[in-house]
Chains A and B, each alone.
Chain A
Amino acid sequence: MSVAAADSKTSYLLDKLQSLSGVVPIGAFLAEHFWSNSYALVSVGKYNDVSRELQQIPWRIMIETCVLFIPILFHGLYGCYIWWTGKSNAIGHPWMANWLYVLQRWTGIIAFVFIGWHLYTERFMGHGVTSYADVQRNLMNPWYLTFYIVGITCASFHLGNGLWNFACKWGIAVSVSAQRAAGWFGAAVAVAFTFIGVAIVIALHYGAFPLGGYVQ
């Protein structure tokens, strides 16, 4: 242990890519994904218009593969390797950042499993075509709904806490006060994403349109 080998820079590059891919494209996509799906809070027609538009973008398969599938697979699988290189000890040493480290590991695994299942059920089973009715039918199942809420919460936490890690790991937030500010920013992102994501699936479950008031 504790022997630095100076020759190989591959691990540095892979680690940096793992860190970067979590923010761009994965984090950016999550923001876009929650934005588009927020149309479920507006109306069925609007939701179907937006999803049809997204389903008909040019170079779709290539964009899905290069911007989503490969980065998510890499981030998740390399993340499992990073998991393996750590041994959490938060039970004996329950400091805040130590718990965040443990939670980052577990939420990563849960979100990765959830995203795999979510892609399978919503992207591949429907061959890339879904509508409000399809998604709502799935979310009527209370188990689906529960898994969605867990998955969304984990992914949102992992992103928010990951942004804090990113700020530290890329040397952006160096001072203790900057790291604390980055932590609060990450917490705000985690809370906002969880709220929006959970609101979307609950609205779909009940077929409610809380933001549809101003639709003519």
Chain B
Amino acid sequence: MADKTFIVKIKRQQRSDEAVRWEEYELRYRPHMNVIICLRDIAEKPFTRSGSESTPVSYEANCLEEICGACAMIVNGKPRQACTALVDDLEKPIRLEPLTKFPLIRDLQVDRSSMFENLKRTKCWIPIDGTYDLGPGPRMSPETQEVGYALSQCITCGNCLEICPKVNENSHFVGAAIVSQVRLFNMHPTGKMHAGPRLEALMGPGGIEDCDNAQNCVKVCPKGIPLTESLAAVNGQVLVHAVKSFFRGS
């Protein structure tokens, strides 16, 4: 009996300025396959469905358990992690495309360093180093820990930026992930001491005001982070900070 097979269609491009081509691969079905396994199968035997020889597909993947964020791509029209996109659950043929809101490197691989740059710009870290021992920091209440834990699961995959109508070439919006990280570091007892500069960074173009509440971000977050709550919470923080620094000086 012949093996059960299925079709995977992949949007391929050598470089962002080269023409797009769609390739179709027919793969042998095994139970519990995910999209990464499909891409590995193709790398093993890079022959398209019509039999012509191609090249292995370029993509990023690392942890294969949805905690690193590397393998974000558009699977059947939805931005998600390829490692948890199971072949059994997906409509066939499976369509794979790279994220569109980041510069393309090749095939399914994009350059998401803009997110890292924005994390740096919004000072999303907690300064604990001094020239002498600063001692233990203030204690954190269990309630704060609980909210913070949910936010700390962000894997910077970029799905929330991909799905956001306000992230495009006409807008500089940093996206929900960065705003949510600002909330996380602002709620930390030590991080709180540097809340001002973080909020200032979100007041400029591309900052918090660019969110127009389409609330798509929360629908595609693989970690289930309450992004719409973060956006509203940080909106309030920025407003209070703006009013305070206007009336009282910063």
- Please give the residue numbers on chain A whose beta carbons come within 8 Å of chain B beta carbons, in ascending order: 1-9, 11-12, 15-16, 82, 84-89, 92-93, 95, 97-98, 100-101, 104, 164-165, 168-176, 179
How far is B239's CA from A95's CA once the two chains are assembled, in angstroms?
28
A residues in contact with B200, CB < 8 Å: 6
Contact of A93 among B172, B205, B216, B236 (CB under 8 A): B216
What would be 6 A-B contacts, judged by CB atoms less than 8 Å apart?
A: A4-B172, A86-B171, A98-B214, A101-B215, A170-B235, A179-B228
Contact B166 A170 (CB under 8 A): no
The digit string for B213-242, where 1 denotes a CB below 8 A from any CB of A, is 111100100000010110111111111101
Contact A168 B204 (CB under 8 A): no
Contact A4 B235 (CB under 8 A): no
Contact B174 A176 (CB under 8 A): no
B residues in contact with A11, CB < 8 Å: 204-205, 207, 209
Interface set, chain B 49-79, CB cutoff 8 A to A:
77-78
Which residue of chain A has the shortest Cβ distance to B203 in the bound complex? A12
How far is B230's CA from A179's CA once the two chains are assembled, in angstroms?
12
How far is B78's CA from A98's CA once the two chains are assembled, in angstroms?
14
How far is B115's CA from A80's CA once the two chains are assembled, in angstroms?
28
Contact A1 B169 (CB under 8 A): yes
Q: Evaluate whether A86 and B114 lie within 8 angstroms (CB atoms) in the complex, with A11-B205, A171-B232 already known.
A: no
Contact of A87 among B77, B165, B209, B236 (CB under 8 A): B165
Q: Evaluate whether A1 and B118 lie within 8 angstroms (CB atoms) in the complex, with A9-B204, A16-B209 already known.
A: no
How far is B139's CA from A78's CA once the two chains are assembled, in angstroms?
45
A residues in contact with B101, CB < 8 Å: 1-2
Contact B228 A176 (CB under 8 A): yes
A residues in contact with B178, CB < 8 Å: 4
Report which residue of A7, A171, A175, A179 has the largest number of chain B beta carbons within 10 angstroms of its beta carbon: A171
The digit string for B153-167, where 1 denotes a CB below 8 A from any CB of A, is 000000001010111
Contact B215 A85 (CB under 8 A): no
B residues in contact with A97, CB < 8 Å: 213-216
Q: Evaluate whether A86 and B166 lie within 8 angstroms (CB atoms) in the complex, with A97-B215, A169-B213, A170-B236 already known.
A: yes
Contact B174 A168 (CB under 8 A): no
Contact B211 A174 (CB under 8 A): no
Q: Evaluate whether A85 and B213 lie within 8 angstroms (CB atoms) in the complex, with A6-B121, A171-B233 already known.
A: no
Contact A82 B207 (CB under 8 A): no
Q: Evaluate whether A8 and B204 lie within 8 angstroms (CB atoms) in the complex, with A2-B172, A85-B170 already known.
A: yes
Q: Evaluate whether A175 and B206 lie within 8 angstroms (CB atoms) in the complex, with A4-B172, A165-B213, A169-B211 already known.
A: no
Q: Evaluate whether A12 and B216 lie within 8 angstroms (CB atoms) in the complex, with A4-B121, A170-B236, A175-B229 already known.
A: no
Interface set, chain B 185-218, CB cutoff 8 A to A:
200-207, 209-216
Contact B77 A92 (CB under 8 A): yes
How far is B207's CA from A3's CA once the two chains are assembled, in angstroms?
9
CB distance from A31 to the nearest CB of B (A): 22
Contact of A86 among B122, B168, B174 (CB under 8 A): B168
Contact of B216 among A5, A9, A98, A173 (CB under 8 A): A98
How far is B56's CA from A157's CA once the two chains are assembled, in angstroms?
51
Contact B214 A1 (CB under 8 A): no
Which residue of chain A has the shortest Cβ distance to B231 in the bound complex? A168
Contact B114 A172 (CB under 8 A): no
Contact B215 A174 (CB under 8 A): no
Contact A4 B122 (CB under 8 A): yes
B residues in contact with A169, CB < 8 Å: 209, 211, 213, 232, 235
Contact A174 B219 (CB under 8 A): no
B residues in contact with A165, CB < 8 Å: 212-213
